[in-house]
Amino acid sequence: MKKSNIFAAIILSLLLVFALAMTGCSQTPSVTSILLTDSNDKQSVYTIYYSDGTTQTLTVQNGQDVTADELYSKYKELYGEDLSYDEFLQKYLVLSADNSAVIGQALQSSVKLYTEFIETVSDIFGRPSGVNTAQYTGSGVVYQMDDENTYIITNYHVVYSNKANSSSNGGKTARRIVCFLYGSENQTDEFSSHKDSEGYTTYDYGDYAIECEYVGGSVTKDIAVVRADTEDVLAVNPNAQPAEFAEEYHVGETAIAIGNPENEGISVTQGIVSVDSEEISLQIDSTVRSYRSLRIDTAIYGGNSGGGLFNLQGKLIGITNAGDSTDENINYAIPLEIAKGTADNILYFYLDGKEETTGAYNVSIGVSPVAQNSRYTYDAALGYGKITEEIVVDQISSGSIASEIGLQQNDRLTAFVINGVSNPLDRLYDVADLILTLRPGDTVSFEITRGSEKMTTSSYKLAWGDFRTLA
């Protein structure tokens, strides 16, 4: 597995130390710290501090990654010492990292949102006294940009109000959505207002406000996408850019939240991933549902909803959406697989040329799997571990895709094959996450173990009729 650029810098610096040793130095200095001192799109510059008091500047081209086992093997080749990987790191490396460059980059993708709804107003006794505009705030992340459109990902509950009476979208989604880029967000709630043509209060958000429109969302995934004109975005800040999703996350990894806590403006907090996957209960509309979530100890508050959760490479590992009001160290984010999978899904059907397709869609495979033999394995070479489990077919629906491709009860699912690409199944939720990525015309099958025999099921080509709206 590839490491990040900062780890590449560590490795390269140690290789420089090896070079000093090979040229006849009597004692090899160790690295005491590495600080990022400059960074741009093409390269990062690190200052390396050695135990003998010397320093060295190291320039790393972005994307120049090497693996930990390559370093470890090189060390053993040069010195022949019988050190474990952990002993090797403890002996030769103490890392002190400055995350300001990573955070600075992530801020270019971060936005503050205002949403407006038409709601019934109550008097001090709780009696309806009229109908007017309700204004709420939240956060978002620039997710995709092209010459015409900028798409922003946020929580569904940021653009939805169960109290709303109506909206221009015919439901309870916001009738108006406005965003502010970091550095241009308005710091006050005292906006001037006036009555619109329908007699409802509307607000003047100032010159830096960017009008957005609702693209689609899913209440069961708590993800929504809104759109702004790229011309409007770049007019406010030509440096605005989309965030990039990470490929994975793991327990103990740094988790940086950027959002709009308590509507005080975009700010940053930092913690770690506490639990990689757990179920929490949320009520967004009138229904209590279970949501697979990433638990973090990163501080988030009201207004952080929809904001980005970034790793040390400035890549998204989730979208923050909930907190435990009784414990500030227990907060939650929608994991990257669900956040990205749902947003990609929404955008695909929004851009598919069919006016009738809005929101997210999924496919029912017709299989009910269960998890067995769950276990945690730590990988010393990677520096972290993961939980794996066996995914076993419990029930199959008659006439379903699962039945047609030949799945049977007690089959162990080892991979979900989509268009010929094998996607390993390590956790029970992997199946549902991958279903979010399916599109009409895709071909699907499963790699399975049946008894002691490994095999691949027959394949099935998905048609438009196999897709259903994802609530």
Number of alpha helices (DSSP H) and beta strands (DSSP E) in the chain: 8, 27
Average the pLDDT over 314-336 and give the result. 91
- Per-residue pLDDT for 368 more than 90? yes
Where is pLDDT greater, at 163 or 414? Answer: 414
pLDDT given for residue 3 in this prediction: 40
Instruction: Please tell me what DSSP assigns to residue 29.
Output: P
Q: How many CB atoms neighbour CB 269 within 10 A?
A: 20
pLDDT given for residue 132 in this prediction: 85
The C-alpha atoms of residue 120 and residue 440 are separated, in whole angstroms, by 42
pLDDT given for residue 94 in this prediction: 44
Residue pointed to by tokens 């929101």: 359
CA atoms lying within 13 Å on the CB side of residue 140: 37
pLDDT given for residue 72 in this prediction: 67
The C-alpha atoms of residue 249 and residue 295 are separated, in whole angstroms, by 12
The C-alpha atoms of residue 418 and residue 457 are separated, in whole angstroms, by 12
* Coil, strand or helix at 49: strand
Mention every residue, 6+ apart, whose C-beta is less than 8 A from residue 61.
Answer: 42, 43
pLDDT given for residue 122 in this prediction: 79
Mention every residue, 6+ apart, whose C-beta is less than 8 A from residue 250.
Answer: 273, 276, 384, 385, 386
- Per-residue pLDDT for 2 more than 60? no
pTM for this prediction: 0.81
Least confident of 113-122, 308-317, 322-331: 322-331
The C-alpha atoms of residue 162 and residue 173 are separated, in whole angstroms, by 9
Average the pLDDT over 419-448 and give the result. 98
Pair 301, 314: CB distance under 8 Å? no
Average the pLDDT over 415-442 and give the result. 98
pLDDT band at 123 (very low <50, low <70, confident <90, very high): confident
What percent of the chain lies above the pLDDT cut of 90?
65
Average the pLDDT over 193-218 and give the result. 92
What does each C-alpha distance from 309 to 201, 303, 327, 370, 454 come to in angstroms?
Answer: 34, 14, 19, 30, 39
The C-alpha atoms of residue 108 and residue 228 are separated, in whole angstroms, by 16
* Coil, strand or helix at 209: coil
pLDDT band at 11 (very low <50, low <70, confident <90, very high): low
Average the pLDDT over 443-453 and give the result. 97
Task: Please provide the average confidence, as pLDDT, over all residues in the chain.
Answer: 86
What percent of the chain lies above the pLDDT cut of 70?
78
Average the pLDDT over 374-393 and give the result. 92
pLDDT given for residue 68 in this prediction: 55
- Per-residue pLDDT for 445 more than 90? yes
pLDDT band at 398 (very low <50, low <70, confident <90, very high): very high
Torsion of CA 224, 229, 235, 241, to 10 degrees: 50
Backbone angles phi, psi at 341, to 5 degrees: -60, -45
Query: In which element (H, E) is residue 291 found?
Result: strand 288-296
pLDDT band at 12 (very low <50, low <70, confident <90, very high): very low
Residue pointed to by tokens 């033999």: 373
The C-alpha atoms of residue 445 and residue 418 are separated, in whole angstroms, by 7
The C-alpha atoms of residue 290 and residue 300 are separated, in whole angstroms, by 20
- Per-residue pLDDT for 440 more than 60? yes
pLDDT given for residue 325 in this prediction: 73
pLDDT given for residue 5 in this prediction: 44
- Per-residue pLDDT for 103 more than 60? yes
Mention every residue, 6+ apart, whose C-beta is less than 8 A from residue 320.
Answer: 139, 257, 259, 296, 298, 300, 304, 305, 306, 307, 308, 309, 331, 332, 333, 334
Q: How many CB atoms neighbour CB 129 within 10 A?
A: 12
Least confident of 45-54, 175-184, 294-303, 439-448: 45-54
Question: pLDDT digit string (tens) for 126-149?
Answer: 777 778 899 999 999 999 999 999
Question: pLDDT digit string (tens) for 36-68?
Answer: 666 666 777 666 666 566 666 666 666 555 555
- Per-residue pLDDT for 20 more than 60? no
Question: pLDDT digit string (tens) for 222-267?
Answer: 999 999 999 999 999 999 999 999 999 999 999 999 999 999 999 9
pLDDT band at 427 (very low <50, low <70, confident <90, very high): very high
Pair 250, 273: CB distance under 8 Å? yes
CA 255 to the chain's CA centroid: 11
pLDDT given for residue 1 in this prediction: 37
Q: Nearest to residue 320, comparing CAs of 330, 309, 336?
A: 309
pLDDT band at 19 (very low <50, low <70, confident <90, very high): very low
Mention every residue, 6+ apart, whose C-beta is less than 8 A from residue 319.
Answer: 141, 153, 154, 155, 223, 306, 307, 308, 309, 333, 334, 339
Instruction: Give, to the nearest 10 degrees, the angle between helix 68-79 and helix 85-92.
Output: 80
pLDDT given for residue 363 in this prediction: 98
Where is pLDDT greater, at 63 or 279? Answer: 279
pLDDT given for residue 329 in this prediction: 85
What does each C-alpha distance from 86 to 10, 175, 253 come to in angstroms?
Answer: 15, 56, 17
pLDDT given for residue 84 in this prediction: 72
pLDDT band at 169 (very low <50, low <70, confident <90, very high): low
Average the pLDDT over 270-276 and give the result. 96
Average the pLDDT over 156-179 and give the result. 86
